[in-house]
Amino acid sequence: MSEEHAYRVAAWWTSGRTGLAKSDSAPNAIHFTAPAEFGGMEGRWTPEELLLASVASCYTTTLRAIAGTAHFDFTDLQVEASGTVRKVDLGYSFAEIIVRPNLKIASATERDRALDLLRRAEKLCLVLRALGTNVKFEPQLEIVTTEATV
């Protein structure tokens, strides 16, 4: 595998405060808009939401890769990323991003190992490392038990 990988996304304005973004690797363009608070349309992705989607999806794929290498099975994973934007001297900026992975595991005996993998994914997630924003990490574990039916 190569040591360097290049990615490209193009975005263009369509009308008003809306546009389209297209990736070389995806067949469909994403319609985006400014947030409604800034005159954007309802029902379309905003750049702020796309950034949070990048955080959540990067964390998800990073944890899956780490768990696969560690031969660690989990039942389910959901990652929520939320952020607060505040006005600063130069406009608006993310004041904080909170990442809340919820990992479901089959046994309480795997708890410590699962928490270790969650923390490793936080440190290795490329998008999180690229941000200059304060990131808060709030992992949650759920033990999923299956009851035998008679």
Residues of the chain with CATH 2.20.25: 1-45
The pLDDT tens digits along the chain (150 residues) read: 789 999 999 999 999 999 999 999 999 999 999 999 999 999 999 999 999 999 999 999 999 999 999 999 999 999 999 999 999 999 999 999 999 999 999 999 999 999 999 999 999 999 999 998 899 999 999 999 765 444
**Is CATH 2.20.25 what the domain over 1-45 is classified as, yes or no?**
yes
pTM of the model: 0.91
Return the exposure string of 53-83: e unless at least 16 CB atoms fall within 10 Å of the residue's CB, then b: ebbbebbbebbeebbeeeebebeebebebeb
The pLDDT, as a whole number, for residue 132 is: 87
Residues of the chain with CATH 3.30.300.20: 46-150
Yes or no: say if 31 and 11 are a contact pair by the CB < 8 Å rule: no
The pLDDT, as a whole number, for residue 77 is: 97
46-150 architecture in CATH?
Answer: 2-Layer Sandwich (3.30)
CA of 100: how far to CAs of 55, 83, 105, 115, 139, in Å?
Answer: 11, 11, 16, 13, 5
